[in-house]
Amino acid sequence: MRNLFCLPYKGEKFLKGENPLKKHALVRLLLLGGFLFMWFSGFSQVSSKIDTTSIRIGEQFNYEITVEETKDVRFPKFESDSLNRIGVVTSHKIDSLKNQLIKKYTLTSFDSGRYVLPGQEIFIKDKRFLTEEVVINVGTVPVDTLKQPMYHIKEINNEPYLFSDYLNYFWGLILLLIIIAVILYFVLKDKPTPEEIISRIPPFDAAKMRLKELDQKELISKNKIKLYYVELTDIVRTFIEKEMNIPALESTTDELMEIITDFNSSSHLNISGDTLLKLKQLLKEADLVKFAKSRPLQNQIALHREDAEGIIDTLHPKKVEPKPEEDDRE
């Protein structure tokens, strides 16, 4: 290939324009000149600079791109080195200065080595321009172990427990208590208390049941005479109060006998005198045991037990079944 700058020369014919290659050489010179002008003008429109080419690990440096144009300029994403060891700390906003646009990046690296930042793409009126490549040397930080004192490895400290650490357990406990309360409500809401159960039993049946329970306690054989008479008279008094609507539990023996006598004569209960006498003797003997520390004989205690049950049977009203009406005979 001929050198464009080496033109044929044949004496005076070249100067007079008689050489046929003269015209082609001039065209080539013009094309080469235009290409060189465009190449240099491209670099004059886009330039870049950095404030340092050597840093230590973790240090920051500034990379700046300047564009000699303010219209239809576009900065694509920053291109790091091939190993992606140079990172962008801050991508600053584009500044305008006269007829220039300045794009600034704050960069850093945490790996030692020599890295090459490629040329950054800039588009001006949809034409692509590239900045020059930049070489960055990242060095390690020397550590003087002689000046730096050595310390023992510290043990791991446990973090203190906070209320938030127990919050899940707290809500779980609250939920468990609510579930237990709901279960107990539905289980016990219709379950009567022992007092309600006793109150629903007829007085006569309740008295009979309590007499059997008193016998099963065997208080006489355990030498608990006073407690035996307390419970025995309480059974009789409770039956009289509920069966006859008489305040027998709060009355003394004399008051109770007077009320029953008056009630018997006014209501025509037809309680026999023998029954009233047995009731009076039972209550009087119980008062002597409770307050005078009297100790009846075994046969007397058994007799009082029979009298108590006989009084309850006598005072309990008998159901009278209606007799069938006899047919009238003419």
Q: Per-residue pLDDT tens for 122-133?
A: 998 888 898 989
The reply to whether 124 falls in a domain is yes
Taking a C-beta distance cutoff of 8 angstroms, is the pair 80, 87 a contact?
yes
In a domain, 310, yes or no: yes
Residue 1 lies in a domain: yes
Is the domain of 225 the same as that of 304? yes
Domain assignment present for residue 265? The answer is yes
Residues 304 and 229 in one domain: yes
Quick check: is 288 in a domain? yes
Report the percent of the chain where pLDDT is more than 90: 26
Q: Are residues 121 and 81 both part of a single domain?
A: yes
pLDDT per residue as tens digits for the range 161-214? 787 778 888 899 999 999 999 888 887 776 666 666 666 788 899 999 999 999
For the stretch 63-78, pLDDT in tens is: 999 988 878 888 888 8
Q: What is the CATH number of the domain that holds 59?
A: 2.60.120.570
Are 207 and 227 members of one domain? Answer: yes
Q: Do 131 and 213 lie in a common domain?
A: no
Distance CA 77, CA 207 (A): 102
Within this chain, do residues 52 and 106 fall inside the same structural domain, yes or no? yes
What is the CB neighbour count within 10 angstroms for residue 67?
24
Range(s) of the domain holding residue 111: 45-139
Q: What is the mean pLDDT of residues 278-291?
A: 90
Q: Are residues 264 and 208 in the same domain?
A: yes
Work out the average pLDDT over 230-246. Answer: 90
- From the list 220, 242, 221, the residue with the least C-alpha distance to 229 is 220
Over the stretch 244-278, which tens digit does the pLDDT of each residue have? 888 888 889 999 898 888 888 877 677 888 888 99
Tell me whether residue 283 is in a domain.
yes
23 and 59 share a domain?
no
Listing DSSP states for 108-164 in one string gives EESS-EEEEEPPPEEEETTEEEEPPPEEEEEEPPP--TTTS---PPPPPPPPPP-GG
Residues 26 and 50 in one domain: no
Query: Does some domain include residue 125?
Result: yes
Same domain, 272 and 242: yes
User: Which pLDDT tens digit goes with each residue over 151-174?
Assistant: 777 777 777 878 777 888 889 999
Average pLDDT over residues 301-309: 91
Last residue of a domain, one of 94, 119, 139: 139
- What pLDDT shows up at residue 33? 54
Same domain? For 226 and 119 the reply is no
| Pick from 11-20, 99-108, 110-119, 311-320: least confident | 11-20
Could you write out the three-class secondary structure of 164-217? HHHHHHHHHHHHHHHHHHHHHHHHHCCCCCHHHHHHHCCHHHHHHHHHHHHHHH
261: helix, coil or strand?
helix
Shared domain for 66 and 127, answered yes or no, is yes
DSSP H or E segment with residue 65: strand 60-67
Answer yes or no: is pLDDT of 329 > 70.
no
Residue owning tokens 């008489």: 246
Whether the predicted model's global pTM rises above the 0.75 cut:
no
Please say if the pLDDT value at position 115 is more than 90.
Answer: yes
What pLDDT does 10 receive?
A: 45
CA distance linking residue 134 with residue 116, whole number of Å: 6
pLDDT band at 25 (very low <50, low <70, confident <90, very high): low
Q: Could you tell me if residue 183 is inside a domain?
A: no
Q: Is the pLDDT of residue 148 over 80?
A: no
Measured distance CA(278)–CA(281) in Å, rounded: 5
CA dist., res. 180 & res. 174, Å (int)? 10
Do residues 287 and 253 make contact, with C-beta atoms less than 8 angstroms apart? yes
Residue 232's closest CA among 251, 246, 212?
212
Q: What domain count does the chain have? A: 3
